[in-house]
Structure 1
Amino acid sequence: MSGYDIVKTRETLIMALKQDDEKAWAVFYELYAPVIINFARKRGCPKELAEDVLQETTMVLMRYLKNFQYDRKKGRFKSLLFKITESKVIDAFRRAGKISRLRNSELFSKATSEDHARIITERENIWDNEWKTMILRESLQEAKKRVNSRVFKCFEEVYLKEKSVEEVAEQLKVSPNLLAQNKFRVMKIIVDTAKKMIHNLEKS
């Protein structure tokens, strides 16, 4: 079962995780492992440390979900996962001795409240970018499953590889009009899938 399959079901992913559903945890890793690892890497963690962040984030989430009561007003899963991941990145830095070096640095000692706000915003932006990448990746995979390979090839060559319509039409032996139709068909699936995932993953 893909990430898209489970987040579009009636039972939300977060409640399935709370029930310790194996498929849900498999989907969690499919969706969020790249987000967490890439975020940690961009925050400065080497590969091994980033993998530790993933494991520790998952363990904290497991403990948290045991007593979790769903309440839309208390915030989003996206924000919760960011806070846990960021705290585990800081823990990883602390173990590696990076926190003490930062605290003793001249830059850190002169940091203002505006500097701290900017740093937090930068970290949130990194997280948001990785989150968007995950949604795009899953949406592309969903589109690839729902159309035949030739239709997706039209989209891939024109939109992803940025080749000209004329070049791709000649390459695939299709008319420019059919090429445009195939591109639109795939794009619609991607957009619709992304909207549904955003609704289910960010609005819940």
Structure 2
Amino acid sequence: MEAPKTRRELLDKLRMTSVAKKDWDEFYEIYWRLVYKVATNSGLPHADAQDVVQKTFIKVAQNIGRFKYDSKKGKFRNWLCLIAKQQAASHFRKIPIAPMVPGQPRVSSETEIRRMPDSASDWESVWDEEERSHLLHTALERIKPRIKPQQFKIFLAHCVKGMSVKEVQDLVGVSANQVYLAKNRVMPLFEEAVKAVSRFGAEGPEV
């Protein structure tokens, strides 16, 4: 079966009674970082945030058949963030209240929950950050098998992390010419991968 061309098409497929595992895997890969960010922004540590991610996607699987896209009511990711916030809130309520420490205010679970984003614009800022991270990560993973390990390390350090040529020379043990050659070799592949990944999210209505 042909893979969905846009996120809207992917969501439509997930609402069907019979869904291929690869479609759920693709959906998870797109959105798990956003859910994780919602959980960690609420104050949950890594392990608890991972638990919230799993519970959120279980809830989505149980309810996505009833989800209907309506641009007037907001994007799918806002609905997803709302579920994530509910799961984080539920997780907080199960955490025992720590004893008071003299001189330090007690932060309740409700206080932490109120710190989480509420408006669509807040969710958008969280999403934009994770979208950029996902785009970069996915593009790099696509080109990595096509590039020599040393050239990939050089490109990652110089073009992604912003290290200077001299810093890369010291880190990798190469000449300045090798840094420039790696950049010229890898950059076109990276830009091509970014366009391909962006195209998947750019076609059709925003979700």
- Counterparts of 1:92-171 in structure 2, within 5 Å, are 92-96=91-95, 101=108, 120=118, 124=123, 125-145=125-145, 147-149=146-148, 152-161=152-161, 162-164=163-165, 167=169, 171=174
Matched, 1:12 2:18: no
Deviation string 1:39-91 (CA, Å, 9 cap, x unpaired) is 31232113343233122211221122223344555432222211211221122
Retained in 1: the 8 A contact 2:42–2:115?
Answer: no
TM-score of the pair, normalised by structure 2: 0.66
Residue of structure 2 aligned with 1:203, choices 194, 198, 206: 206
- Cα distance change on mapping 1:78 and 1:172 into 2, 3 Å: farther
The 8 Å contact of residues 40 and 89 in structure 1, kept in 2 or not, is answered as: yes
Which piece of structure 1 moves more, 160-169 or 179-188? Answer: 160-169
TM-score of the aligned structures, taking structure 1 as reference length: 0.67
Q: Which amino acid aligns with 1:186?
A: L
- Aligned partners of 2:164 and 2:72: how far apart in 1? 46
Q: Give % identity.
A: 22
Measure the CA separation in 2 of the matches of 1:172 and 1:91.
Answer: 55
Alignment of 1:193 with 2:193, yes or no, is no
Are residues 42 and 67 of structure 1, via their aligned partners in 2, closer, same or farther at CA, if it must alter by over 3 Å? closer
Unaligned stretches of 5+ in structure 2?
98-106
Distance 1:22 1:201, change over 3 A: farther
Give the AA of the match of 2:10. Answer: L
The answer to whether the 8 Å contact 1:36/1:85 transfers is: yes
Conserved? CA contact 1:78–1:202, under 8 Å:
no
Deviations 1:125-156 (A, max 9, x none): 344423432232112212335x4336645522
| Cα distance change of structure 1 residues 142 and 172 upon mapping to structure 2, 3 Å threshold | farther
Q: Note the residue ranges of structure 1 that are not aligned, 5 or more in a row.
A: 109-115
RMSD across aligned C-alpha pairs, in angstroms? 4.1
